[in-house]
Amino acid sequence: MRSNVETTAHHTMLLIDEPMSRHTTWRVGGPARFYFQPADEADLSDFLKSLPASEPILWLGLGSNLLVRDGGFSGTVIAMRGRLDSIEVLTPNRLRVGAGASTAVVARHAARAGLCGAAFLAGIPGTMGGALAMNAGAFGSETWERVLNVQTIDRRGVIHRRTPLEYKVAYREVVTPREEWFIGCELQLEPGDTEAERQEVQRLLNKRNASQPIGQPSAGSTFRNPPGDYAARLIEECGLKGFQLGGARISEKHANFIINTGDARAADVEGLIQHIQRTVEKQTGVRLQPEVHVVGDPA
C-alpha cells in the first residue's frame, strides 16, 4: 500500500509502506514503514521531535551504496534527495554545502566558482550527506580531507556544529561519538583556474563513465579496497567477472560493481556479495569488506 499521508505547499511528504526499490540505485528493496521528505531544516527538526525515541531511522540520499532487504525497513526513512541541497560560496575558498546536494553538482559548482580541490566528488555517486557519513572518496581523494566543520541534527531536532576533531575518520569510515546525522558541512578549497577545474571535473566524469557500468542499476563500488590492493583486481583474479546469481550479476566492465540485470531481488544481491567474499577468501586469503550498507529485514 502506498499512501500519501501529508503533502503541503512546502513539499513535506510522508508516505506509508513506500517500496524502497523506487529510491535505491540497485532498484531493489521492500517497503519502508514510513518514508519522510522534509521541506526544510525546521520541518526536519519538528519531525524528529515527533518520533518515538526508539524509532529506527534510515537516512537516504541518492540511494547509492545501500541495499535494503526484500522484507523492507520497519522504521522511518528520511529522504534528503532534493532537500537541504543548497551550495554557497562563503569566502574566496570556502563552500557551504547542504547534505542533500549531489556530490557531482558540488564538484561542478566549485569549478564554476573557480575553486579547486572538489573535482574528485564528481566520481562519487551520492549526496554530500552520504559522502560525509562514510568518508567517500574517488581518484585518490577523500571527503574529509576537505571538511572544515559539519552541521548535524540529533533525535530531539537540535542542530549542532562540529569539527573534524570530534570524529574518528578512516578509509570509508566515520565513527560518530553520538547519535547525530549530517545535514551540512563547510569545505576548504583553493582558488584556481575555473576552466582548468571544469575540464578536470569533466575528465574525471569521463574516466568514471569509461571504467564503470554507468547506466545500469548498481550501487557503486560493492567492496572496500583492501590495504595495498584493489577489490576489483581480486574479484577478477578469481574468475568471477560476469558471474550471476538470480537477477544480480558481477559487471564485466568493473568487477567491484554488482548490477541488477532487470529482475533482481535484494536477496540475489546479498547472496552474490557473500559468494564473492567466500570465493575471494578461499582463493586469496583476503576477506573483502562490503562498502555498501545493508539494512532491513529478509523477506
Which pLDDT tens digit goes with each residue over 242-274? 999 999 999 999 999 999 999 999 999 999 999
> Mean pLDDT, to the nearest integer, of 280-293?
97
CB 254 within 8 A of CB 285: no
- In the chain, list all ranges with CATH 3.30.43.10: 3-79
| Catalytic entry in 45, 64, 221, 251 | 221
Whether the predicted pLDDT of 293 surpasses 90: yes
pLDDT in tens, 81-112: 889 999 999 988 999 999 999 999 999 999 99
Comma-separated ranges of CATH 3.90.78.10 domains in the chain: 231-295
- How high is the pLDDT of residue 4? 41
Kindly tell me the burial class for residue 116, based on how many C-beta atoms sit within 10 Å of its own C-beta (0-12, 13-18, 19 or more). Answer: middle
Residue 14 CA from chain centroid, whole number: 22
Query: With helix as H, strand as E and coil as C, how does the chain read?
Result: CCEEEEECCCCCEEEEEEEHHHCCCCCCCCEEEEEEECCCHHHHHHHHHHCCCCCCEEEECCCCCEEECCCCEEEEEEECCCCCCCEEEEECCEEEEECCCEHHHHHHHHHHCCEECCHHHHHCCCEHHHHHHHCCEECCEEHHHCEEEEEEEECCCCEEEECHHHCEEECCEEECCCCEEEEEEEEECEECCHHHHHHHHHHHHHHHHHHCCCCCCCCCCCECCCCCCCHHHHHHHCCCCCCEECCEEECCCCCCCEEECCCCCHHHHHHHHHHHHHHHHHHHCCCCCECCEEECCCC
Grid cell 540505485 is found at: 25
pLDDT of residue 212: 80
Q: Length of the chain, please? A: 299
Does 3.90.550.10 match the CATH number of domain 231-295?
no
User: Catalytic: which of 33, 94, 155, 172?
Assistant: 172
Mean pLDDT of the chain: 92
Domain boundaries 3-79, corresponding CATH code: 3.30.43.10
Where in the chain is CATH 3.30.465.10?
87-211
In the residue annotation, 221 being an active-site residue is answered as yes
Q: Is 54 a catalytic residue?
A: no
Let me know if 172 is a catalytic residue.
yes
Question: Tens of pLDDT along 180-221?
Answer: 999 999 999 999 888 988 898 888 888 888 878 878 899 989
Considering the candidates 180, 197, 200, 291, report the single residue annotated as catalytic. 291
CATH fold of 87-211 reads: 3.30.465
**22-73 pLDDT per residue, tens:** 999 999 999 999 999 999 999 999 999 999 999 999 999 999 999 999 999 9
Q: What is the pLDDT of residue 205?
A: 83
Cβ–Cβ under 8 Å, residues 89 and 113 = yes
Residue 160 β-bridge partners: 152
